[in-house]
Chain A
Amino acid sequence: MSDVILEIEGYSGAFRGRESGEMEPVLFDVSYRLKPKAITAVVGETGSGKSLMALSVLGLQPPTFRRTAGSIRFKGEEILGLDDRALRRIRGRRISMVFQDARAALNPVFTVGDQLADTDRLHSGRSRHAAMAKAIEALRRVQIPEPERRARQYPHEYSGGMAQRAMIAMAALICEPELLIMDEPTTGLDVTTQAEIMELIVDLAKSRGLTVCLITHDLGVVAETCDEVIVMNKGRVVETGATEQIFTAPAHAYTRRLLAASQLGEEGA
């Protein structure tokens, strides 16, 4: 058990139709494992269920989604069906998440510094002043220039890349989790910003011994940064393996198609 931090086994689920009440299955017997202190990528096209699966780990699946089978174990402990209190101990402190659109994930009426400090106080019980100091330190760590001034600004005053950095500061540095799930953290950012963010993520993961689950459809990013790859298609895991193996010797036809498509895209760019 010691070499697996998160284990998903036979997870299946369906959406309940709004009017018909019929169940439309979307996840089929999904199983994968995350190794500790590694960066694992979950790749697949839009609608392949990769985000849905990750959200389910934290119990944040949409209300119309119903699990029909499967289990999710975090460090050997079953986390499906835990009550709110137990979930709260896991959320944030042990598993934390970075969303795709960081600007929507920050609360528009509070300054970024306040939000980081508030989150810190939820877990640490530090004084307001000490929490703010830690928040500014976290912003500095994710290379936000002038963190003292930036901490007093509102999310709408941040650019997309800046907001994503702040979000990473919150999820990785303030919450200090063991597992960080990132749901397409670089989608919607320009290429240079993407590269900077990915560099930051790798740096944080290596220096803190953080396990990262990176959900993405950018295979270029995956090739450069990830240790393990899980390929999903239409709600199924089609292939898992080390990054090198997936890129050099893809076993499944879908993986080959995915690679072919992305390489076309990259040569063009």
Chain B
Amino acid sequence: MEMLERRRFGLARFRTLSPAGPGADPQQRAEENPGRMLSRPEAAPKPRRKRRFSRLTLSGKVGATLLAFYVGVTILSFFWTPYDPTMPGAGMPYEAPSLAFPLGTDRLGTDILSMLMMGTRYDLGICLAAVFIAFSIGTILGTIAGYFGGTVDTVIMRLIEIVQAFPGLLFAMLIVQAAGPGVVNVIAVLSFVGMPDYLRLARAEIRSRREWQFAEAARLVGNLWFGVAFKHLLPNSMGPLLAFTSLNAAFSVLIIGSLGFLGLGLSPDSPEWGNMIARGQDGVMTGQWWVSLFPGIAVLGMTAAFYMLGDAIADITDPRRRR
């Protein structure tokens, strides 16, 4: 009975967290579980909660470190950059990477490292803001739809399907085109495009747990629907939701970059990474590879950081998977 229960939980976890990672590896899972079943709490007085970072998987550690690095750079850029990132002519045009200009200069002689540092503000800031908004709205609506079902669910889901009928990037491009460039607009568009996925995920998670006994038990001891849905059911769905958050963040970084590259998102002279890649295009043909390459690496790094963090987050938020 107990074993069945555990196996059910294990499978449910496995199913919801398919993005490959050490935690989702069936082999490791099989090795993990029997051990945990034997180590009854009576037997092993295990040390109380280790610090969060050391509980991360290796890829989680790399992701967290990378992300911390980006955050650090963002903060640093407010106080110090090697040159003024908005000032052309810090060096000669198209200067190759050197000690004076570690990542070279662009067509106007602006220092690329300084621009990259300042660009972090745009890419990371917009991404986090958009993800936060999409997560909040999507999760709340999804929880309501999943909990009540019926008409509420139908109305919300039909509206969401309309939004989802368009591919994300295309839709974002259309709206930005219509609304005009600007940080606020890009944030709004990204949260709008990302929100349906959170909604669907939260709805599915809540729906599958709504009839579980602990939800019934929570109702039974006198919780109102709000308490049952948000205090008891939602925390159980946090793992998959947070794991998806980081995937969504990675996707958002890519969209921000794409919009910038197409000259749609922000004003074309802002040092956003997509903008920078676009401006370096001419250089690539004539041998000035550094102008486009480094912002490209910056986008890649941030995307990778979010991806790697995703699986690790799922591990931490699930008490059964804590080590």
Contact = CB atoms under 8 A, between A and B. Distances in A.
B184 interface: no
B9 A108 contact: yes
Contact of A103 (B5, B222, B318): B5
Nearest to B322: A154
B213 A91 contact: no
A105 B221 contact: no
A106 B220 contact: no
Contacts of B238: 109
B219 A108 contact: no
Nearest to B216: A60
Q: For A109, A119, A158, which residue has the most chain B Cβ atoms within 10 angstroms?
A: A109
Interface string A143-178: 000000000011011111000000100110011000
Contacts of B140: none
B35 interface: no
A183 to B, nearest CB: 10
Contacts of B166: none
The bracket for how many chain A residues form the interface is 35 or more
Contacts of A107: 214, 218, 232, 235-236
Contact of B221 (A101, A110, A170): A170
Nearest to B224: A88
Contacts of A153: 41
Contacts of A123: 222
Interface residues of B, number: 29
A97 interface: yes
Interface in A159-213: 159-160, 167, 170-171, 174-175, 188
B221 A119 contact: yes
A58 interface: yes
Given A122-B222, A160-B1, A154 B319 contact: yes
Given A110-B235, A156-B6, A58 B222 contact: no
Contacts of A266: none
B158 to A, nearest CB: 22
A40 interface: no
B220 A58 contact: yes
A156 B217 contact: no
Contact of A108 (B41, B214, B218, B221): B214
Interface of B: 1-2, 5-6, 9, 40-41, 212-214, 216-225, 227, 231-232, 235-236, 238, 318-320
Interface of A: 58, 60, 84, 88-89, 91-93, 96-97, 99, 101, 103-110, 118-119, 122-123, 153-154, 156-160, 167, 170-171, 174-175, 188
24 contacts: A60-B220, A84-B224, A92-B221, A93-B222, A96-B221, A104-B5, A104-B214, A105-B214, A106-B214, A107-B235, A108-B214, A108-B320, A110-B235, A118-B231, A122-B221, A122-B223, A156-B6, A156-B320, A157-B40, A158-B41, A171-B221, A174-B221, A175-B221, A175-B222
